[in-house]
Amino acid sequence: MANPSKNKGTAAETAVVRHAWAQGFTDAERIALSGANDQGDVVLMRDPKIIIEVKAGKAAQTASLGQISKWLDEAQRERENAKAVHGFLIVQRQGFGNSRVGSWECWTLSDDHGAFTEYGDSFNTIMVSVDDMFDAIKERYVSD
């Protein structure tokens, strides 16, 4: 019997990868589960290595800031496990299905290796749309 929560997670991760491809991140792919040494759900880029933890479904859509904080900690542990430069958390917004991934929330820590330095040093956490995060990553790392 299929696990509905796992199926939702897989569908959300696949939607993130497809959206990343459409935005020019051709190396984006889902990551196989690694147990205690999990390395995130999606690799966005390989050089530099950027990983993404994806949360979707009812739990994500109704998550408290305390839950977001726990998931951010998880994303940073997974960044370390993957030896990645950045580890981002993507959270599905209520009313925004898998076809609207670009409008989902992307969370990171302000000290995540300067991912969003233009926002200043006064933030502990930063939340932008997935599309804004992709634009910032392209501006910083992708040459035309």
Task: Give the residue numbers spanning the domain of 80.
Answer: 4-141
Pair of tokens at residue 56: 């979707």
As a whole number of angstroms, the distance between CA 47 and CA 91 comes to: 24
The CATH number linked to 118 is 3.40.1350
Residue 93: strand, helix, or coil? coil
Task: Give pLDDT tens digits for 72-96.
Answer: 989 989 999 999 998 999 999 999 9
Closest by CA position to 134, among listed 115, 110, 111, 109:
115
Kindly report the pTM of this predicted structure: 0.86
Determine the residue type at 46: R
Q: How many domains does the chain have?
A: 1
Task: Give pLDDT tens digits for 96-141.
Answer: 999 999 999 999 875 554 555 555 554 467 888 999 999 989 988 8
Residues 6+ apart with CB under 8 A from 6: none
